[in-house]
Structure 1
Amino acid sequence: MRASRLVTLLLLLQNRGRMTAGQLAEELEVSVRTVYRDVEALGSAGVPLYGEAGHAGGYRLVDGYRTRLTGLTAEEAQAAFLAALPGTAADLGLGGALATARLKLRAALPAELRAHADRIQQRFLLDAPGWYADADDTPHLTAVADAVWARRTVRLRYRRWRAPEEITRQVRPYGLVLKAGRWYLVADGPSGLRTYRVDQILELTALEEEFTVPEDFSLAAHWSRELAGFHARLHTGHALVRLTPEGARRLGVPPAAEGWTRARVPIESIDHAHGEFLRLGTDVEVLEPPALRDRLAATVRALASRYGSPS
């Protein structure tokens, strides 16, 4: 722990120049006395740093002392900083490690590339979850991540949507996926590879049994197949509709040159399509299937009755 702190202290001085003991203590979340001891240890190890007294004083590294990471282009440095997701790393218990790694990377970059990396952080931010969804409660995420790293089998009690609603499985966790702010575990178990929502894990026990992931397994390729299968299962029917230019734009359909646009669009189910098409209001008319058209017509009549006369 102390070795990591000494490296972080060194990189802070390398990145920021002069810093007081109080500023270092705040950054490192230690006492000022601990900073004094760490500075003395660095000096004893041959690191050329010195202290300046007075109002403008503090600790500094001798000019020209720095480590360098060679071989990075400007684009590679930008990509490295753009790929660093503090929230995700913190969820996995790696927030401190990520902060230190970024500090090391920035300190090792030449001044020009450091400026490129700084501009990335100033101008781009990734906030994955949607506006209207609360963050999932994932108390077992860190334990799941530990099992993924260690390649260790786990026993989990899991809540699912079909009966029986609670099941217990012993699985081999292959990998974690973050999709739209929600964590999923890809694991091999009694029924082969399955995907589990981490927020639906009710209880998790790490076992002593270790496992080896097959050499031909690719988490990215597996997830792509899962998504393709999901979309194939999701849209099992079609609807024939007429759309105004605004309706075509909102539905993502190429509009006709003028007037209404006829289009055949995939739908998940009558219930789901009913709600989705109601959102378009008068910008859509459903022609087929008859069951969906009748369902919408009944809803429109009910709305007209409700809003047609004062309460």
Structure 2
Amino acid sequence: MRASRLLSLLMLLQTRGRMTARELAAELEVSVRTVYRDVEALHAAGVPLYGDAGPSGGYRLLDGYRTRLTGLTPGEAESLFLAGMPGAAAELGLGAVVAAAQLKLMAALPAELRDRAGRIRERFHLDAPTWYHGADETPHLAAAAGAVWDERRLEIRYRRWKAPQEVVRTLEPYGLVLKAGRWYLIARGGRHIRTYRVSQILELRALPQSFERPADFDLAAHWNGALEEFEARLHRGEAVIRLSPHGMERLPDMGRPALLRAAEATAEPPGPDGWTRVTVPVESHRHALSEFLRFGLDLEVVAPAELRDLMAETARSLARRYETPG
């Protein structure tokens, strides 16, 4: 445990430069006294580490000193290769960079960790797109990523679902999100931060003007909040349904987290026939119809009456269509 903490302290100073004992203690979640002891231990091991007194003082490494990554545990070394997204990196134009970085990391690892990390790449593969949907065509992704990184304004011609379908927008790009094989650009246009599907960008031009990205903007928190708002706007109604045991098993295949969470929260104990009654959110009766028909005989709509009647009429129409003439 202490060896891992000493390495973490060393890496903090190597990546951030000068840090006070209090700052190091906060990062490592230990006491200031423990930091003092750890610094003494590094000194004794020959690490060129020294401290300056005073309000602007702190600890830092001798200029030019770099440590090798020999302190990685087997799990840490494996996770570095498991966490990469080669497909996504290639789409961003960084495939060669990621490959070169992994080669350098492999060269720096001891032989035992090198073998373990190599086996990760042979045994695990990340395929981001969902079933039945390929990844989007995103010819402007690399340019958008460059503008995000360089904090440059963008002008895009964008295709949206409502009229007018094609619009021109000047944006301040804050970040990119990859979800289920689809890339989304998070950007400010005017007073609002909005989400743009990168595959729907018809033209993109990086502008010479730069912008200052808000220091407190949290991309992951914004994305999660946007998803919650989207689901709240989308699901304006609800339906009571009954599901067979097989239907309950198929619920996760719907790919709708809100629906699955609602079903788990409202599920009643199965009846004598094994069927379970749940209440789930729906967007509209027509949209619910298309979703529920996928369950076939494993689902029954109980309420609302309008949706139940729509399901029944659809079933009768299907039966008439498939009746054998004569």
What interval of TM-score do these two structures reach, taking the shorter chain for normalisation?
0.7 to 0.9
Paired residue total? 245
How far did residue 231 of structure 1 move? 1.9
Map 1:77-92 onto structure 2 (within 5 A): 77-92=77-92
Superposition CA RMSD, Å: 1.7
SS in 2 for 1:248: helix
Which has the larger displacement, 234-243 or 94-103? 234-243
Structure 1 counterpart of 2:169: 169
In structure 2, distance between residues paired with 1:205 and 1:262? 53
Structure 1's consecutive aligned runs of 4 or more residues displaced over 4 angstroms after TM superposition are 252-255
What is the TM-score of this pair, normalised by structure 2? 0.72
Structure 1 counterpart of 2:323: 308
How far did residue 127 of structure 1 move? 0.3
Question: Per the alignment, do residues 71 and 212 of structure 1 end up closer, same or farther by CA in structure 2, a change over 3 Å counting?
Answer: farther
In structure 1, distance between residues paired with 2:99 and 2:220? 26
Structure 2 counterpart of 1:256: 270
In structure 2, distance between residues paired with 1:224 and 1:272? 24
In structure 1, distance between residues paired with 2:203 and 2:186? 17
Map 1:57-136 onto structure 2 (within 5 A): 68-136=68-136
In structure 1, distance between residues paired with 2:215 and 2:71? 30
Give aligned-pair identity as a percent. Answer: 59
5+ residue gaps, structure 1, are: 1-66
SS in 2 for 1:163: coil
How far did residue 154 of structure 1 move? 0.8
Map 1:266-305 onto structure 2 (within 5 A): 266-305=281-320
In structure 2, distance between residues paired with 1:183 and 1:134? 12
How far did residue 215 of structure 1 move? 1.1
Instruction: Tell me, yes or no, if the aligned pair for 1:68 and 1:110 is still in contact at 8 Å.
Output: no
Instruction: Tell me, yes or no, if the aligned pair for 1:93 and 1:142 is still in contact at 8 Å.
Output: yes
In structure 2, distance between residues paired with 1:117 and 1:93? 24
In structure 2, distance between residues paired with 1:156 and 1:129? 25
SS in 1 for 2:217: coil
How far did residue 146 of structure 1 move? 0.7
Which letter maps to 1:274? L
Which letter maps to 1:256? P
Q: Per-residue CA shift, 1:139-161, capped at 9, x if unaligned?
A: 11111011111111111111100
In structure 2, distance between residues paired with 1:248 and 1:177? 31
Instruction: Tell me, yes or no, if the aligned pair for 1:157 and 1:168 is still in contact at 8 Å.
Output: yes
In structure 1, distance between residues paired with 2:314 and 2:272? 29
Instruction: Tell me, yes or no, if the aligned pair for 2:134 and 2:181 is still in contact at 8 Å.
Output: no
In structure 2, distance between residues paired with 1:307 and 1:134? 33
Question: Per the alignment, do residues 264 and 68 of structure 1 end up closer, same or farther by CA in structure 2, a change over 3 Å counting?
Answer: same
Instruction: Tell me, yes or no, if the aligned pair for 1:68 and 1:107 is still in contact at 8 Å.
Output: no
Map 1:2-17 onto structure 2 (within 5 A): none
How far did residue 257 of structure 1 move? 6.0
Q: Per-residue CA shift, 1:46-73, capped at 9, x if unaligned?
A: xxxxxxxxxxxxxxxxxxxxx9423322
SS in 2 for 1:308: coil
Instruction: Tell me, yes or no, if the aligned pair for 2:155 and 2:206 is still in contact at 8 Å.
Output: yes
